[in-house]
Chains A and B, each alone.
Chain A
Amino acid sequence: QVQLVESGGGLVKPGGSLRLSCAASGFTFSDYYMSWIRQAPGKGLEWVSYISSSGTNIYYADSVKGRFSISRDIAKNSLYLQMNSLTADDTAVYFCAREAITAAGLLDSWGQGTLVTVSS
């Protein structure tokens, strides 16, 4: 079955960096668009970034543009999010999600999330 497992979260100081990973299994990773979604404590869901199946096309939310970088490694069936210049506003659970092959933007499978806390 489809499985997405995030890792790499933790406590980081303001201005610091962190790299999140998402290990995919149970489906042909190279066929699917992928996204990162985040959820601040007690808050709603916010789309962060998208990457096409080949990695050619990439988009970011304005709130992270210029600071975050999404990438994927087809050989390792993995998705990544490099986060730089972190601020307290970036504190959240970060989910990786698969976009449905029949409808771009429809998030049909989600990982359990990894918590990123930005604090001094």
Chain B
Amino acid sequence: EVVMTQSPATLSVSPGERATLSCGASQYVSSNLAWYQQKPGQAPRLLIYGASTRATGIPARFTGSGSGTDFTLTISSLQSEDFAVYYCQQYNNWPQLTFGGGTKVEIK
């Protein structure tokens, strides 16, 4: 099983500031890495796939980077609607999909 590790668990950021979230894989996953955003009581929403491609309708302030085992999601200027939990997920080892534990981005 590919273990995905996210850090930090919680990130306190002021609106308008930059947020940087990290995700590591226990083994090589190429660029088969996705990021999802989940708000309370809602389903996850796909943000980024292929490590760096924004999904349809996702604002340009969301940027994904990395390949292999180390990945980053950057939110350039946090808006009020961006405060949520973010999960990374590898699909290189399909169909055994695995997710990171999540990073909660909260208002500072």
Contacts and interface: CB of A to CB of B under 8 A. Distances in A.
A100 interface: yes
B89 A107 contact: yes
A26 interface: no
B71 interface: no
A108 B94 contact: no
Most chain B CB within a 10 A radius of its CB, from A35, A106, A113: A106
Size category, B interface: 20 to 34
Interface stretch (B14-22, B61-69, B74-82, B97-105): B97-105
Interface residues of A, number: 22
Interface of B is mostly: loop
Nearest to B99: A45
B45 A110 contact: yes
Interface string A22-61: 0000000000000101000000111100100000000101
Given A45-B44, A112-B42, A113-B43, A103 B96 contact: no
A111 interface: yes
Interface of A: 35, 37, 44-47, 50, 59, 61, 95, 100, 103-113
Interface of B: 32, 34, 36, 42-46, 49-50, 55, 87, 89, 91-92, 94-102
8 contacts: A35-B95, A45-B36, A45-B89, A50-B95, A106-B34, A107-B36, A108-B46, A108-B55
The 10 closest A-B pairs by CB, nearest first: A105-B91, A105-B94, A110-B43, A47-B97, A50-B95, A45-B99, A59-B95, A104-B94, A44-B101, A44-B102
